[in-house]
Amino acid sequence: MEIRRALPGDLEPALHAMARAFGTPFQNPSVHTLVAGAPGGHLLVAVEDDVVVGTASAVSFGATAWVGGVTVAEEARGRRLGRVLTEAVLDALGEHETISLLATPAGRPIYERLGFEPELEYRVFTVPDDHAPRRPNGLVPAPGDLVRALDREATGEDRGLALDAGLEHALATPDGAGVALHPPWTARPIIARDPAAGRALLAATLAPGLRLAAPVANAPAMAALTELARPQRSVVRMRRGAPIAWRPEQVWGVFALFFG
């Protein structure tokens, strides 16, 4: 078996492997293909007999970094490949003040053995297929400087790579209290300073079949998502290194279950 940095021809097989593992469609572009081609980004694949049987990805945001997309095909399980891939992508990432991830129940024991500790839970929702989209009445185009300022305040990180991918068609409340980004994959990351802005952006940007996730510490977001979407499962945010000064109550939606 070979573990290597993903080549251009590996991207579609890697996304297919992730889709099989997570039970969720992944298409190009995705957060993983964004990271694969970015400075400070890594997408690794495990290849056996010319077949991608595992994946792992990571991205650096300067002092902080995230690991995500760690998957192992069913036919390759039982050989500790999940831990090997995680160690390989951590090595590729290098030292950071803080490395974070969102863990499934299956992955959590691996990450705990590698020194990660749990922080809090995120709940995942799916918008029903029969949801009727609303017009974004009253919202305005979101200026890039506002997006960056709100995101830095909420996350405590410099996520310029992700923000740049979602700026086109991004929306804001007129008072600048919240923004909803529009990346080229099916996600609506939302950052809001107050519940009114969060609810307005959430209601205006939901689409049928969209998958959403937010921290359970954001009680108004949990209430709004429970009303508008179907709860699916939970993941746990874990950290290795120094705590990040972030504000989960301002996070109403994530880019992906990779770096929140």
Q: What pLDDT is stored for residue 37 in this prediction? A: 87
Grouping H, G, I as helix, E, B as strand and the rest as coil, residue 190 is strand
Q: What pLDDT is stored for residue 129 in this prediction? A: 81
Q: What pLDDT is stored for residue 69 in this prediction? A: 93
Q: What pLDDT is stored for residue 22 in this prediction? A: 82
pLDDT tens track for 27-39: 889 899 999 989 9
Domains of the chain: 2-96 (3.40.630.30), 125-253 (3.40.630.90)
**What's 171's DSSP letter?**
E
Low-confidence ranges of the chain (pLDDT < 70): none
Strands 171-172 and 178-180: antiparallel
Q: What is the CA radius of gyration of the chain?
A: 18
- Which residue is listed with tokens 């792992």? 56
Q: What letters, b where the CB count within 10 A reaches 16 and e where it falls short, cover 162-199?
A: bbbbbbeebbbbeeebbbbbbbbbbbbbbbbbebebbb
Rounded Cα distance between 217 and 257, Å, is: 17
Q: What pLDDT is stored for residue 77 in this prediction? A: 81
Q: What pLDDT is stored for residue 208 in this prediction? A: 86
Residue 235 to residues 18, 93, 136, 217: CA-CA distances in angstroms? Answer: 16, 22, 30, 13
Contacts for 108-111: CB closer than 8 Å, 24+ residues apart? 108/236, 108/238, 110/82, 110/83, 110/86, 111/86, 111/238
